[in-house]
Homo-oligomer: A and B are copies of this chain.
Amino acid sequence: MPVYRLAPSSNTVIIAEGIRKGDRRALARGITLVESARADHREQAQSLLADLAGDRAHSTRIGLSGTPGVGKSTFIERFGAEMTGRGHRLAVLAVDPSSTVTGGSILGDKTRMDTLARNPAAFIRPSPSGGSLGGVARRSRETIALCEAAGFDMVIVETVGVGQSEIAVSRMTDIFVLLLTPAGGDELQGVKRGIMEIADLIVVNKADGDLKATAQRTRADYAAALRLMRRRNGDAEGFPQAVTASSIEGNGVAAVADLIARLADARRASGFLASARQEQAVTWLEHALETRLQDVFEQAVPKEALSSVHEAVRQGDVLPEAGAERLIELYRDAMRKG
């Protein structure tokens, strides 16, 4: 069977060339295509991405999460300076499905990271606004591919601690970092348990001044909690772990960079990273297929039938399987009619 691939248009060929040379304006144009909802743009984006597809095994993709106020931008500023100082070219993206609700993108204001924004080895892209998490995630994955094609070998995907966005980010990155603030004693931080599940590294930020001792205790608490849980396959010895850092004084940031480099190297050497990325691609295929199958279903089955079965199941009048069976019958009929 031939593989599905669109013919590149002259427009996308020019953009692809520019991106390969590392031209930022071409990269920005490519990302604009990827973020557009217009059907012709979607086609061009797919053709551009197919054109640029290739081996990116030497990039490192880092997911970074933390609630507002934890100091994410200041941390990324410091961390970005450290990583570009080590010769990396760094792209910073954001996944923020809440931005349509809150009205503000988490990276909307580039001035939040003004030093990094002026760094020629760094590229900062605000969160695309609007759309479902699925749509935002799709655009973010495609933007990662474009940044890597433009020569950025390290990509940070930032997200806020809301709902399912961390899970989505962990499915497009190699390493997941959770940023926390120092919190004393019984003061809960409200870390979602599902996020503990995916964290490779917990960084207790603001470990400076009066908060230093509290940060140490918080670190120890989370280290103990992590020890009670199971490691991921392919983890280097000692991971997941919890450390402290001060974005203001700079303490601990180089250590975080070292840890991330060590974990990325270990996962690359063991083949874990390559196979994890392959599995991620298949997972995204399955998600995309599920979403599209759902679309086809919803176009075919009348809304009233759907909500009447939902309500009957909710009220306990119809069992879930019987309800599903009824809907499948309606669906088959509708599909047959074309």
* A residues at B contact (CB < 8 Å): 1, 3-6, 46, 49-50, 53-55, 138, 141-142, 145, 186, 188-194, 196-197, 221-222, 224-225, 227-230, 278, 281-282, 284-285, 287-294, 296-297, 304-305, 308-310, 312-328, 331-332, 335-336, 338
- Nearest Cβ in chain B — how far from A215, in angstroms? 14
Instruction: Report the separation of the CA atoms of residues A284 and B323 in the bound assembly, to the nearest whole angstrom.
Output: 10
Other A-B pairs beyond A141-B320, A285-B309, 20, CB < 8 Å: A3-B318, A4-B325, A46-B319, A53-B319, A188-B230, A190-B230, A193-B196, A197-B197, A221-B228, A222-B228, A278-B314, A281-B316, A282-B310, A282-B320, A284-B321, A285-B313, A285-B323, A288-B320, A288-B321, A296-B331
- Which A-B residue pairs are the 7 nearest by beta carbons? A288-B324, A193-B197, A284-B320, A4-B326, A225-B225, A335-B335, A285-B320
- CB–CB A1/B53 < 8 A: no
Instruction: Report the separation of the CA atoms of residues A31 and B193 in the bound assembly, to the nearest whole angstrom.
Output: 36
Which residues on B sit within 8 Å (CB–CB) of A197? 193-194, 197
Q: Which of A3, A190, A305, A335 has the most CB of B within 10 A?
A: A3
Instruction: Report the separation of the CA atoms of residues A179 and B203 in the bound assembly, to the nearest whole angstrom.
Output: 30
- CB–CB B327/A289 < 8 A: yes
- Nearest Cβ in chain B — how far from A138, in angstroms? 6
Q: List 27 A-B contacts (CB under 8 A).
A: A1-B304, A1-B305, A1-B309, A3-B312, A4-B323, A5-B322, A53-B316, A53-B317, A55-B316, A186-B227, A191-B228, A191-B230, A193-B229, A194-B197, A196-B196, A196-B229, A197-B197, A221-B224, A224-B225, A225-B225, A285-B313, A285-B323, A288-B323, A289-B327, A293-B294, A335-B336, A336-B338
Instruction: Report the separation of the CA atoms of residues A145 and B141 in the bound assembly, to the nearest whole angstrom.
Output: 44
Instruction: Report the separation of the CA atoms of residues A323 and B5 in the bound assembly, to the nearest whole angstrom.
Output: 9
Instruction: Report the separation of the CA atoms of residues A291 and B142 in the bound assembly, to the nearest whole angstrom.
Output: 28
The one of B46, B54, B296 in contact with A332, judged by C-beta atoms closer than 8 angstroms, is B296
- CB–CB A46/B221 < 8 A: no
Which residues on B sit within 8 Å (CB–CB) of A138? 321
- CB–CB B289/A328 < 8 A: yes
Which residues on B sit within 8 Å (CB–CB) of A323? 4, 285, 288-289
Instruction: Report the separation of the CA atoms of residues A19 and B53 in the bound assembly, to the nearest whole angstrom.
Output: 62
